[in-house]
Amino acid sequence: MENIILKMIFILFFMMIPSLGYSQNYILDEIVIDCEHADECKEFNDLFQTLKGETVDAQLIREKARFALRDPQIDTLEYRLYNKEQEKTSLLIVQIQLKKRISRISYQGSSEVPFDLILPYLSLKEGGVLDESKLPEIEAIIKDKLVEKGFRGVTVTHDILGDDYFVGLKFNIAYKDVVKVGEIEIQTDYENRISDIYRSFRKFKDKVWDRVDTKVVVDRLTESFFREGFYFSRLQMDVEDIDERFVKLKIQVNLNRRYNFSFRGNRVYSRSEIIESIEKRLKNEVKMLSPNMMESFISELYMESGIYNTTADISVRSGKTQSGMRFENFYIDINEGNKIALL
């Protein structure tokens, strides 16, 4: 927005020069686009040439200029209007300066820097427009992404290589340390699940600590436990510094109890369809599961198909397996209602 305002200052400045005054009696018979890169400015030439042969209209010229300035490749745009008194015609000269384009994006630094993985997060592409005002923001993104991937003491600067229309863009990346995962500790309410949980995280051992990758595993495990019927499980990962170069991942898993369902009397919906509907509702911030809540879920599901007055007789059996896992088994006898046509 700031760049657009600066560009518009140029326009307003030239429009206010009295010697270049507009006249409704003058015909715009010549339009010159002054642009160092004619091929790149062709679309702007076509835009302004639509004014040729028209009566000079300050508002219309201003609108064309504003429309052109929406294009991100324009750096500055200025225009002048010259009246030819004898011919009662006018000459419009539009000066356009384009932003530089990026021929190549590179970085200078250690081979440990995963620059190729960071590049997709940057609003840059080879052949694209170089907006120098955004480079500080891009440097900050590079730094943040490297910190996420276990780099500490990161500094990022840039160099623009060349003075031509196409330039190279090089980022200079330095860092103090790379943090690796030295230890992985699993804490859970069911010891027989420790080895399964550890297998999901062991690939990070002695590797550079990547916050994003470890969070992906946490989210994936949480979803996996939910699908197993541990609907109210909690998984948390804390990180402790061992020293300047190593951290410990502390994985705390509270599986709570596992829920199982047995259905009878369901003809309209299959078991998997009912469970899928229940799980969607459970994800909506439900903190507990009771027989009354289950009956409400089932009634609402049937009403979605226009079947009303559905009830369910529900009994619950709670207990523990030999391994100590707590469970609740819901035995649900569904009394399907009647389909009511809506007039």
- pLDDT tens over the chain, length 343 residues: 444 444 444 444 444 443 344 555 789 999 999 999 889 999 999 999 999 998 888 888 999 999 999 999 999 999 998 988 888 899 999 999 999 999 999 999 999 899 999 999 999 999 999 999 999 999 999 999 999 999 999 999 999 999 889 999 999 999 999 999 999 999 999 999 999 999 999 999 999 999 999 999 999 999 999 999 999 999 999 999 999 899 999 999 999 999 999 999 999 999 999 999 999 988 876 778 999 999 999 999 999 999 999 999 999 999 999 989 999 999 999 999 988 755 4
Quote the pLDDT of residue 285: 65
Quote the pLDDT of residue 213: 93
Determine the Cα–Cα distance for residues 203 and 184; give it in Å rounded to an integer: 10
- pTM (2 d.p.): 0.68
- For the beta carbon of residue 39, count every other beta carbon within 10 angstroms: 7
Quote the pLDDT of residue 16: 40
Quote the pLDDT of residue 76: 92
Quote the pLDDT of residue 5: 45
Helix axes 271-282, 291-303, angle to 10 degrees: 110
Quote the pLDDT of residue 150: 92
91 CB-side CA count, 13 A: 9
Diameter of the chain by CA atoms? 106
Quote the pLDDT of residue 84: 86
How far is the CA of 288 from the CAs of 53, 257, 264, 292, in angstroms?
76, 11, 23, 11
- Name the β-bridge partners of 92: 31, 81
Domains of the chain, with CATH numbers?
A: 2-98 (3.10.20), 101-178 (3.10.20.310), 180-254 (3.10.20.310), 257-339 (3.10.20.310)
